[in-house]
Amino acid sequence: MTEDIEFTDPNGNTAQPSESGTVIPETDRSITDHDIARYLLQYLLDCRGICHENMLLVVLGKLQKYTQDPTSQVCSTDKLVEIIKGINVKLNPLGYKISSVGHGMGKNNVSSMLKDTGLPSNNRFYVYVNTVTSEESKLATRFSTREIEFIKWCVEKMCVSRDCEVIIDCPIITEVDRIRNDVSWNKCITYSVESSEFFQYKDWSPIEIESLLFKLCGLKWFAKDENGRISMDLRCSVELEEYLIANGISTCENCHRLALQGTRCTSCSRSWHVDCYQHRITHIGKYCPCGESILQNGMYIV
Ligand SMILES: [Zn+2]
Ligand SMILES: [Zn+2]
């Protein structure tokens, strides 16, 4: 349920990062691989620690115009992955890393929310995450003790899926039905929560709750949709992935990452992200490992 979230940087310059004046060095006409890595990391942090792969490829392509070394001028996903591996080696002692994650709503839905880069659509995002082991200390690097109590309370609520209405024009439902090429299923579940439920938190005033929820949405921890429902955004799901899996949220049968959006088999509850569902139907088969047809006996996770 992240339909209203814009995957752009705070200045809205994601597709033309050089025009922001913050990424491309203006005086130094020749930069090294080390500089490229440093500027890419800076760009990711400027985007609040989360950025779509195509946006990073656009930035990489622009940076490479300033390098003299021909081997540094190859702009491809492989090159980006190689640079990020190098950055991660340096971040490791600091307890951070850049992690890549596919968005459960699928590449077509993700692309429809991005500025057109001319690059093929894909669902991959890069997220700057804390690698310390305990969930508590991950939160402690960014939030006060009092805020952590509230966030944990909210996340617990969002670990429980609930039935919701099948809304035909919901992007995930539209995409799943396009893949199935069939009329909609009649069952839909969600991990999102009506924002009014969060206002039942005791000891906090509505203004305090409103302002922390606003902050969490800005940090891409939570996302609020046009109906006022709040869900965990990618940063939260990546940072707290192990905790969330331990708390009962299922993983995708294909990629084994957290499945907060996608489809689920009605008889055995195996789940797939939208693109992973398409991958299974196209390359593996139309049946769930439990024997049911995943084209017919499924539900949406929105
Ligand atoms: Zn998956
Ligand atoms: Zn099944």
Could you tell me the residue ranges of all domains in the chain?
17-131, 140-301
Q: How far is CA 35 from the centre of its chain?
A: 27
> What's the rounded mean pLDDT across residues 101-117?
90
**Residues found in the chain:** 302
User: Which one is predicted more confidently, 26 or 235?
Assistant: 235
In this structure, are residues 1 and 231 in contact, taking their beta carbons and an 8 Å threshold?
yes
Rounded to the nearest angstrom, the distance between the alpha carbon of 240 and the centre of ligand 2 is: 26
Rounded to the nearest angstrom, the distance between the alpha carbon of 90 and the centre of ligand 1 is: 29
**Bridging pattern class, strands 162-164 and 271-272:** unpaired
Ligand closest in space to the Cα of 123: 1
Give, to the nearest 10 degrees, the angle between helix 33-46 and helix 77-91. Answer: 80
> What's the rounded mean pLDDT across residues 221-237?
91
Query: What confidence category does residue 180 fall into, taking pLDDT thresholds of 50, 70 and 90?
Result: very high
The overall average pLDDT reported for the chain is: 86
Q: What is the pLDDT of residue 153?
A: 93
Rounded to the nearest angstrom, the distance between the alpha carbon of 259 and the centre of ligand 1 is: 7
Q: What is the pLDDT of residue 31?
A: 84
Q: What is the pLDDT of residue 16?
A: 42
Q: What is the pLDDT of residue 74?
A: 76
Query: What confidence category does residue 250 fall into, taking pLDDT thresholds of 50, 70 and 90?
Result: very high
Question: Is pLDDT at 199 greater than 90 in this prediction?
Answer: yes
Question: Is pLDDT at 3 greater than 50 in this prediction?
Answer: no
How far is Cα 9 from Cα 103, in angstroms, rounded to an integer? 18
How far is Cα 235 from Cα 126, in angstroms, rounded to an integer? 9
> What's the rounded mean pLDDT across residues 294-301?
95
In this structure, are residues 172 and 112 in contact, taking their beta carbons and an 8 Å threshold?
no
Query: What confidence category does residue 14 fall into, taking pLDDT thresholds of 50, 70 and 90?
Result: very low
**Bridging pattern class, strands 229-232 and 222-224:** antiparallel
> What's the rounded mean pLDDT across residues 159-175?
91
> What's the rounded mean pLDDT across residues 185-206?
93
β-pair partners for 124 = 102
Nearest Cα to 220, choosing from 4, 1, 5? 5
In sequence order, which ranges of the chain are alpha helices (DSSP H)? 33-46, 53-64, 77-91, 107-113, 135-140, 145-158, 171-180, 195-198, 206-218, 234-239, 241-246, 274-279
Domain 17-131 belongs to what topology? Answer: Aspartate Aminotransferase, domain 1 (3.90.1150)
Task: Look at residue 37 and give its three-state secondary structure.
Answer: helix
Task: Give the percent of the chain with pLDDT over 70.
Answer: 89
230 φ/ψ angles, rounded to the nearest 5 degrees: -115, 135
Q: What is the pLDDT of residue 26?
A: 52
In sequence order, which ranges of 162-287 are alpha helices (DSSP H)? 171-180, 195-198, 206-218, 234-239, 241-246, 274-279
Residue matched to tokens 């190689």:
82
In this structure, are residues 15 and 237 in contact, taking their beta carbons and an 8 Å threshold?
no
Question: Is pLDDT at 97 greater than 50 in this prediction?
Answer: yes
CA dihedral (14, 16, 20, 23) positive or negative: positive
> What's the rounded mean pLDDT across residues 81-95?
94
Rounded to the nearest angstrom, the distance between the alpha carbon of 19 and the centre of ligand 1 is: 35
In this structure, are residues 128 and 194 in contact, taking their beta carbons and an 8 Å threshold?
no
Task: Look at residue 146 and give its three-state secondary structure.
Answer: helix
**Per residue in 223-237, is it b (16+ CB within 10 Å) or e — as a string?**
bbbeeebbbbbbbbb
Rounded to the nearest angstrom, the distance between the alpha carbon of 298 and the centre of ligand 2 is: 9
Lowest mean pLDDT among 17-21, 30-34, 78-82: 17-21
Q: What is the pLDDT of residue 75?
A: 77
Ligand closest in space to the Cα of 293: 2
Nearest Cα to 294, choosing from 254, 266, 273? 266
Lowest mean pLDDT among 12-16, 78-82, 114-118, 277-281: 12-16
For ion ligand 1, residues whose CB falls within 5 Å: 252, 254-255, 273, 276
Question: Is pLDDT at 29 greater than 60 in this prediction?
Answer: yes
Task: Look at residue 125 and give its three-state secondary structure.
Answer: strand
Q: What is the pLDDT of residue 20?
A: 45
- Specify the DSSP class assigned to residue 223: E
Rounded to the nearest angstrom, the distance between the alpha carbon of 227 and the centre of ligand 1 is: 26
Q: What is the pLDDT of residue 21?
A: 45
